[in-house]
Homo-oligomer: A and B are copies of this chain.
């Protein structure tokens, strides 16, 4: 044996919901490293958005009780305190809580910020809060499913008059071109060539015929190379058609069932002349608007859209199709998007994308449907 370090995760299916041990091992451990906190704290777009949201809307924090869900290093809790909060409860499931506590103390906020180590679903606070702040967004917004914990926190601990930071979120999709489409097909083909070479050798040298495994091997490689969405830092020029919102979330009212399974049909018009439709790019933005009775003085937006100068660590998720399809300006796409949580791991997602193309000549191309995994 000799298992490969950094092996592919997975997780056993659980009929009864989340297995906490598995979840902890697979998910939370990453966030227990200062190195990963540093990466997130170095994301200037992310940092500026939260910083401005808090300090340009101090009236939401002054004299208030705040809950920070998944505080990590504690930065949002400290900013909330610096903006005048009376009390900040900073909940963190990992041992990062100890570093957060040290940071709070070093920044002279220990009278205001209380770091609580525990899972949000299980902790008890001494009071209801005026503001829930959290940086819960995963790749393509919902990967990691951390918003579940924010919903739970809101339903248990937010005053009826309280605000959510952020208050709104949106998921976007747009048609793209990408050189990765060819690369992935060629990676897949190379893996299959290797396989045939391997099975030949095994038969010749060791007398065992492995050809019966060609099909499952091919399926495994197809999933890995062709059906798994990829992290990407798209150049805006790679977006070849109009972008559409596929999901809007009001953080004050959304329920878990709203995000468990989501679907949308959207249209997009190709805006580039004579190019290749290689797939779709997905990203998100969140807004800090306060609540309607008590709005933000300055509305702040954090967007992870393709950008030359304002990229984020979230990048975009790309869903590649193969082979690419030649399209041109004025072609209309009719896209169906369906996203579910993976049965194997509730923090991962499965996506079904259907697409119809009506060319600007009026000709309708054959519709197609593809399944993808966000891993």
Residues of A within 8 A of B (CB): 1-12, 14, 19, 21-22, 24-27, 29-36, 38-42, 47, 51, 70, 73, 75, 78-79, 82, 99, 102-103, 105-107, 135-139, 143-144, 146, 191, 194-195, 198, 201-202, 205-213, 216-217, 220-221, 224, 231, 313-314, 375
With A12-B24, A34-B217 in contact, is A79–B146 under 8 Å at CB? no
CB pair B35–A212 under 8 Å, yes or no, is no
A174 to chain B, nearest CB (A): 20
Which secondary structure dominates where chain A touches chain B? Answer: helix
List 18 contacting pairs A-B, 8 Å CB cutoff, sorted by A. A1-B31, A1-B40, A3-B36, A5-B231, A6-B8, A7-B36, A11-B24, A19-B21, A21-B22, A26-B26, A35-B224, A41-B198, A42-B201, A73-B210, A82-B207, A103-B212, A105-B212, A107-B208
CB pair A7–B29 under 8 Å, yes or no, is yes
Q: Which of B29, B34, B75, B217 sits near A216, CB closer than 8 Å?
A: B34
How many copies of the chain does the oligomer comprise? Answer: 2
CB pair A30–B3 under 8 Å, yes or no, is yes
With A42-B198, A138-B1 in contact, is A99–B213 under 8 Å at CB? yes
CB pair A144–B1 under 8 Å, yes or no, is yes
- Give 6 nearest A-B pairs by CB, closest first: A10-B29, A7-B30, A106-B212, A22-B25, A21-B22, A21-B21
Residues of B within 8 A of A25 (CB): 9-12, 22, 25-26
